A and B are shown apart, each in its own frame.
Chain A
């Protein structure tokens, strides 16, 4: 992490989101720097997915700012941006990898079409080059090129996640949000996916927010960690420091529960 720019890519300021009387995110503030991987950990129901969806504008927030520095170096508040602008950014400079591939892939499109969709949305109209790009990305995510015309449902869980990653990275996004990207996968499949994510994130210098309740995943992927509990960030810091020397009682509990397994 030597070549980070001087201003954050994203700064979230005092974000609040409730569902009725249930406060899912309370006063959440943090910054994300170019190329940085931020992990969000916390027990089930602590507000991790809500935070991710609020940042991506998939949920409207009650209050707070989501300031994003665009590729053109404009700072825009995504919480207040027009839907057109937000949707455009989400298709170009942002990516979102879902826990369940069926939410993040077009299950009725072939693998090649899944990869090409964002490019076509941006106006690419050359079949041959779309095809070439899809083949390159299949290779990059370790899927055999002869699967290019197959439907995602013929893929294993790990392959589906890798296809989702390719589909997102194809427009060279600057930020990718991932919600439990390795959840529900076998341990060996998880390990391979984690290696791949690590490699691609480095190669493409993309900033990531990775939600997980697996501290092992967090340690492997994240430079920095945020611990959430009941909608609040209770502790944040460099991953190794935070996991080796947790300060907050809740973090201590999380870490010790992992160690005792």
Chain B
């Protein structure tokens, strides 16, 4: 992992240290990251630094990225699955200025991926690091506002109330309606929030060969899922965990196995579904896959 490769390479922009943060801060963050890796799913407090973006724009993820990035890294930044959204563009531009590292939109080519709201569709591999931007790290906060109490609940594995939340879901909606930030138990021990990714992505965290790091800037917490760690979504025996399904496949690439965004085409209610992961969709189209909206219509045959 690039935690080890990350030696100082000198300032890239006059007056700034490599990756913006000073070495002392990076060391502090790396210590927190190492502790987080050693205790999968456990939230490690750290002294959050001011980043040149307001909280809520991924400052936690940026600090983690700044602490692990090395000059040989190839960086990819996504927001909602896309590389070209405002948030992704400004974070990527920031790191290019501050480190001069190469960037990519290709999941396969990246060594370091910072993300908000999605896990890439293309499976990650050993040596890659996925950094999640986390708005609220504490899975028990909705129930218990006191930090001392939630810490105790984690220490004693008092997680029964999380099932109460799912119980209420089923009682109200007939099924578990929690669709984002689905609660999971990491390595059979710590209850963890996956950040607001769709539950579609939750199974991707399980036994993933990549290192997954989570950074919450405002709440000053870092946590981690090391490679090949078990991540289990909470559920009931008679209401097992299930991911979203769509009535159609991707209108552009025909994929039937990806997370789809609904796009409204006109005010008559016409709509289409397209991959939220733009890199995945593009790779499939390059390989010749087509969907309903891309002539010739061969989506079903291609499946």
> Which residues of A are interface residues toward B (Cβ below 8 A)?
83-84, 87, 106, 109-110, 112-113, 116-118, 120-123, 125-128, 130-131, 148-149
25 contacts between A and B (CB under 8 A): A83-B152, A87-B156, A106-B164, A112-B167, A113-B164, A113-B168, A116-B164, A116-B167, A117-B161, A117-B164, A120-B160, A120-B161, A120-B164, A121-B160, A121-B161, A123-B160, A125-B163, A125-B235, A125-B237, A126-B238, A127-B237, A127-B238, A128-B238, A148-B171, A149-B172
Q: Are B170 and A109 in contact (CB under 8 A)?
A: no
In the complex, A206 Cα to B260 Cα: how many Å? 56
Q: Are A83 and B238 in contact (CB under 8 A)?
A: no
Q: C-beta contact mask, B135-168 vs A, less than 8 Å → 1, else 0?
A: 0000000000000000010011010110110011
Q: Are A117 and B160 in contact (CB under 8 A)?
A: yes
Main secondary structure of the interface of A (DSSP, over half): helix
Residues of B within 8 A of A116 (CB): 164, 167
Q: Are B160 and A122 in contact (CB under 8 A)?
A: yes
> Which residues of B are interface residues toward A (Cβ below 8 A)?
152, 155-156, 158, 160-161, 163-164, 167-168, 170-172, 235-239
Q: Which residue of A lies closest to B142 (CB)?
A: A108
In the complex, A245 Cα to B242 Cα: how many Å? 67
Q: Which residue of A lies closest to B235 (CB)?
A: A125
- Within the complex, the shortest CB–CB distance from B220 to chain A, in Å, comes to 26
In the complex, A130 Cα to B237 Cα: how many Å? 11
Given contacts A120-B161, A130-B167, A149-B171, whether A125 and B236 have CB atoms under 8 Å apart is yes
Q: Are B161 and A126 in contact (CB under 8 A)?
A: no
Q: Are A110 and B238 in contact (CB under 8 A)?
A: no
In the complex, A118 Cα to B161 Cα: how many Å? 9
Given contacts A128-B238, A149-B171, A149-B172, 4 further A-B contacts (CB under 8 A): A109-B168, A117-B160, A125-B236, A127-B167
- Within the complex, the shortest CB–CB distance from A117 to chain B, in Å, comes to 5
Q: Are A109 and B236 in contact (CB under 8 A)?
A: no
Q: Are A127 and B164 in contact (CB under 8 A)?
A: no
Residues of A within 8 A of B164 (CB): 106, 109, 113, 116-117, 120
Q: Are A120 and B167 in contact (CB under 8 A)?
A: yes
In the complex, A148 Cα to B170 Cα: how many Å? 13
Q: Total contacts A to B, CB within 8 angstroms? A: 52
Query: Which of the residues A122, A126, A131, A149 comes within 8 Å of B237, measured between beta carbons?
Result: A126
Given contacts A120-B161, A121-B160, whether A113 and B171 have CB atoms under 8 Å apart is yes
Residues of B within 8 A of A123 (CB): 160
Q: Are B237 and A110 in contact (CB under 8 A)?
A: no
- Within the complex, the shortest CB–CB distance from B202 to chain A, in Å, comes to 18
Residues of A within 8 A of B238 (CB): 126-128
- Within the complex, the shortest CB–CB distance from A106 to chain B, in Å, comes to 8
Residues of A within 8 A of B155 (CB): 84
- Within the complex, the shortest CB–CB distance from B11 to chain A, in Å, comes to 50
Q: Which residue of B lies closest to A85 (CB)?
A: B156
Q: Which residue of A lies closest to B162 (CB)?
A: A120
Q: Which of B152, B163, B172 has the most C-beta atoms of chain A within 10 angstroms of its own C-beta?
A: B163
Residues of A within 8 A of B167 (CB): 112-113, 116, 120, 127, 130
Q: Are A112 and B171 in contact (CB under 8 A)?
A: yes
Q: Are B239 and A87 in contact (CB under 8 A)?
A: no
Closest A-B pairs by Cβ, 5 of them: A121-B160, A120-B163, A127-B236, A120-B160, A126-B237
Q: Are B236 and A87 in contact (CB under 8 A)?
A: no
Query: Which of the residues B152, B161, B170 comes within 8 Å of A127, measured between beta carbons?
Result: B170
- Within the complex, the shortest CB–CB distance from A110 to chain B, in Å, comes to 6
- Within the complex, the shortest CB–CB distance from B2 to chain A, in Å, comes to 39
In the complex, A121 Cα to B168 Cα: how many Å? 15
In the complex, A128 Cα to B237 Cα: how many Å? 9
Residues of B within 8 A of A121 (CB): 158, 160-161
Q: Which of B152, B160, B161, B238 has the most C-beta atoms of chain A within 10 angstroms of its own C-beta?
A: B160
- Within the complex, the shortest CB–CB distance from A102 to chain B, in Å, comes to 15
Q: Are A110 and B160 in contact (CB under 8 A)?
A: no
- Within the complex, the shortest CB–CB distance from B111 to chain A, in Å, comes to 39
Query: Which of the residues A87, A110, A122, A125 comes within 8 Å of B168, measured between beta carbons?
Result: A110
- Within the complex, the shortest CB–CB distance from B171 to chain A, in Å, comes to 5
- Within the complex, the shortest CB–CB distance from B178 to chain A, in Å, comes to 14
Q: Which residue of A lies closest to B153 (CB)?
A: A87
Q: Which residue of A lies closest to B156 (CB)?
A: A84
Residues of B within 8 A of A149 (CB): 171-172
Given contacts A83-B152, A117-B160, A121-B160, whether A126 and B168 have CB atoms under 8 Å apart is no
In the complex, A149 Cα to B167 Cα: how many Å? 11
Residues of A within 8 A of B171 (CB): 110, 112-113, 131, 148-149
